[in-house]
A and B are shown apart, each in its own frame.
Chain A
Amino acid sequence: MSATQYRTTAGATVRLGARLGEGGEGVVHVVDGSGDLAAKIYLPGLAAEREGKVLAMAGARLHANKFVAYPVDALFDLRSGAFAGFTMRKAANRRPVHELYSPSSRKTAFPSATYPLLVRAMSNVARAMASVHASGCVIGDVNHSGVMVAPDATVTLIDSDSFQYVVGGRNFPCKVGTPDFTPPELQSKPFAGVVRTPNHDAFGLATLVFMTLFMGRFPFVGRFKGAGEMPPIDRLIAEFRFAYSNRSATTLMEPPPNMPTLADLPLPLADAFERAFGPLGANSGRPGAPEWVGLLERAEADLVRCNRKDNHHHFRQAPNCPWCRMEQVFPGFVAFVPTSPVFQGGAAVDLAQLIASVRGVPDPGPAPDLAALMPASPAPKPSTAVKEARSARTGRRGAALVLGPVGLVLMGLGGGGVALGLIAMVAALITFFATPEVIEAAGRQARAAKTEWETARKTFEQAAGNATFLKTRQDAETLIQQMQNLPAEEARRLAALEAGRREAQMRRHLERFKVAQAKVSGIGGARKLTLRSYGIETAADIEYNRITAIKNFGPSTASSLVKWRRAAEAKFNFDPHQGVDPQDVASVKADIAKARSDVIGRLSHTVGTLQRLSAEAKAFRTNLDPRYAVAWSAYRQAEIDLKALDLD
């Protein structure tokens, strides 16, 4: 467990509050009493490598930039004085950019976002990046989660401590990258030793802008026209296969079906994407962040409202509304949420209102029978093929009816006629009852049409039904239940703390005995280091099984460590007047608060999901896929045909 208090460079004490999140490098906490500050505390072993960079960034007061969460103050361990992390401005009420560009998440994270807001958010990203470049930094690891967007389209760049920072002749490198946003010239290469440039960042920026303007589509994925399988994503990027490019003869790629294309953009934007993703860009030719600011600002002036739907906006250069096009082609797809009151998860949440919102989303009910929704039309006539098959059969049956009596007569004649007559009779019966191939073929076709319709009906039942809706609502009810149990759980855990005062005092007592200072036979400096790397730092951490689980630590070593712990335990005196440690109480309360905010987060997410499921199910019913009608008329034809063939 990490400490909760740290010292700043100036010597002030900083106390950490609730935990905001955790990444691969460290944990982010609220800074108590600071209002808008957060603190990132590195995981063990990671701090030292960042110390120089963080100190340089804080010293240069880069944090005067309001759009980047630069280090405000370095933080040091109270006891050892070792560098531990830094404070920075909190990115409150902001969501990662992938929740903005992806239509499914946008509905819940940014329910009122329109296309003009998306364009504005991207010019703000370009502004923030331009300001980073102006201060001697390069982002290096541009990605889906490092850009945080507020509901008003302003952005904050986070993870500034991974930026590359060149100052006073020193280069603090950026050693990370996210494959999807890494330019062709750096694909599949180690980042170590590479000096990152604004032109590299420009690739990541263009990718983000593209994905945001194209409903979350990745610029290098489309339909591959070359031989064999489409290359994997890293190679698509490395080979400049921009799927929307005019250079399709070279890229061998086409845009994905039914998606907007560069023709839907103002020419300067289309051209900028070609430069950003094509081979020319690799030699410093990509539009930089300042150029994108201008491009996107001018593009805003080209936005018009769709003449069919109020919540659709597009560039006036588009031949027609790209979102109407998509909504027609993908039944159930909603490009932008129609403006209606939607619950928004904020700081102060009215629980009753949240629960009411969850329960208030109307259940779309089971899907209606698809057949009932099909256009009424007069019963079809048997098809020509069937008529022909039938007349062929009638002909054969006629022949059989002649052949039969002939056989009878032959048999009546006696002698050799009997055998001949029998043969004729059998032949007649076979001809009469056997099904000729034409009829079987017509029957097969009709049955296939029936199966097709049944499949369509089932697909519709699923898509337009409420099974997923009900399941999601049931999950939400479980969450509500969980939340209502939280006060009881808090009370139970606080009571347990009271009861466990003795253990807690003992633990604090044992924590004063450091392994590093212990004199235990057979435990030298190297072994102490190993123990430390397994989180065994004080007598409180010593347990027989924990020790033997470590490689090269045998039972005898474990026993002497346990003996050392016992000796420490023997020095303990219980103080009945000492109450529960306020820190323990705070930690229980923080746990419960976190659980509560998790549940609230998931519940408010669920409201959006329920609304979407409900809307989608209804959309499937009103916006019927035209292929249903085709399947329906084929099915009706099949019914008639099967009847006409006496096969049903």
Chain B
Amino acid sequence: MSEMSYDQRPFGNAEFAENPENRCPVVLLLDNSASMRGRPMNELNTGLQVFRDELFADTLAAKRVDVAVVTFGPVKVEIDFVGAQHFHAPTLSTAADTPMGAAVEQALSLLRARKDAYKSNGIGYYRPWVFLITDGGPTDSISRAAQLVREGEEAKAFMFFAVGVEGANFDTLRQLSVREPLKLDGLRFRDLFKWLSASLSTVSKSRIDEAPALANPTGPSGWAVAG
């Protein structure tokens, strides 16, 4: 960029003038490698639709949750950050390999850019979420990504969650994520996304001391099983 200062007054920042609510950004990092072809992909797409509908139904969460979608196989920004009220669930199709490391790096750089936009527009935000879903193992190196995740978690810059579908390489996920990776029960993507939207909605809800903020996904009605 030359002398024109896009940093100070980006085009279209009426977005924040229109909706100045404190934000909770979430990046969905979705594996669309070839092994997801067929039912897994269909269920994932339905899950995304459910995610959108649930957020949309909560008028406050719809203003507070910002969503970005990154797929990998190859790395692609499907949807850059957009408020939940303007989020249209994409229909993903399967592709080739699984460059998980590069995808994580891409997600974190999107997140940094979004935080900068919040800062320059004076918008408050809660700790962002990065939510990785995969059914395989990386086809690239994840060492740098793992380091970035560790640093970010330590600095409380974001929370990184890894969810493995049947067949995922959980050892890799453990290297990548500071939190214990979760294993999806069968293809319960719909329940997963319901849980995710409900959890994100809690940023706009009353807090009760005794109750945990998030429902345990490995509980009897949850979508995850012990990995």
Q: Report which A residues bind B (CB closer than 8 A).
A: 24, 96, 98-99, 102-105, 141, 143-145, 162, 175-180, 190-192, 215-218, 220-224, 230, 232-233, 236, 243, 255-257, 259, 326, 329-333, 445, 448-449, 452, 456, 459-460, 462-463, 468, 471, 534, 549-551, 616, 625, 627, 630-631, 634
Q: Top 5 nearest A-B pairs by Cβ distance? A: A256-B122, A221-B124, A333-B14, A330-B14, A330-B17
Q: In the bound complex, do residue B207 and residue A178 qualify as a contact, i.e. CB atoms below 8 Å apart?
A: yes
A157 to chain B minimum Cβ distance, whole angstroms, is 14
User: B16-30: contact bitstring with A at CB < 8 Å (1 yes, 0 no)?
Assistant: 011111100000000
User: B139-180: contact bitstring with A at CB < 8 Å (1 yes, 0 no)?
Assistant: 000000000000000001000000000000000000000000
User: B55-83: contact bitstring with A at CB < 8 Å (1 yes, 0 no)?
Assistant: 00001100100000000000000000000
Known contacts A144-B60, A257-B122, A103 near B19 by CB under 8 Å: yes
A-B contact list, 8 entries, CB within 8 Å: A102-B19, A178-B206, A191-B207, A216-B21, A222-B122, A255-B122, A256-B123, A452-B4
Closest to B208 in A: A176
- In the complex, which of the residues B21, B85, B127, B210 contacts A232, with contact meaning CB atoms closer than 8 Å? B127
Of the listed residues A145, A448, A456, the one surrounded by the most CB atoms of chain B closer than 10 A to its CB is A145
- Number of A-B contacts defined by CB within 8 Å: 131
Number of residues on chain B facing chain A (CB within 8 A): 39
Q: In the bound complex, do residue A96 and residue B121 qualify as a contact, i.e. CB atoms below 8 Å apart?
A: no
Of the listed residues B20, B207, B220, the one surrounded by the most CB atoms of chain A closer than 10 A to its CB is B20
User: B104-148: contact bitstring with A at CB < 8 Å (1 yes, 0 no)?
Assistant: 000000000000000111111111000000000000000000000
Of the listed residues B13, B59, B127, the one surrounded by the most CB atoms of chain A closer than 10 A to its CB is B59
Q: In the bound complex, do residue B63 and residue A102 qualify as a contact, i.e. CB atoms below 8 Å apart?
A: yes
Q: In the bound complex, do residue A459 and residue B63 qualify as a contact, i.e. CB atoms below 8 Å apart?
A: no
Docked CA distance A209–B126 (Å): 22
Q: In the bound complex, do residue A257 and residue B120 qualify as a contact, i.e. CB atoms below 8 Å apart?
A: yes
Question: What residues of B have a CB within 8 angstroms of the CB of A141 in the complex?
Answer: 206
- In the complex, which of the residues B8, B17, B86 contacts A333, with contact meaning CB atoms closer than 8 Å? B17
Docked CA distance A143–B208 (Å): 14
B200 to chain A minimum Cβ distance, whole angstroms, is 15
Docked CA distance A221–B11 (Å): 21
Docked CA distance A627–B7 (Å): 13
Q: In the bound complex, do residue B124 and residue A233 qualify as a contact, i.e. CB atoms below 8 Å apart?
A: yes
Docked CA distance A143–B207 (Å): 11
Contacts A233-B124, A329-B9, A452-B4 known; 17 new A-B pairs at CB < 8 A: A24-B206, A96-B59, A98-B63, A104-B18, A145-B60, A177-B207, A178-B205, A216-B20, A221-B124, A223-B119, A230-B119, A255-B122, A257-B120, A259-B122, A333-B17, A333-B18, A452-B2
B112 to chain A minimum Cβ distance, whole angstroms, is 11
Instruction: Decide yes or no whether B37 CB sits under 8 A from chain A.
Output: no
B225 to chain A minimum Cβ distance, whole angstroms, is 12
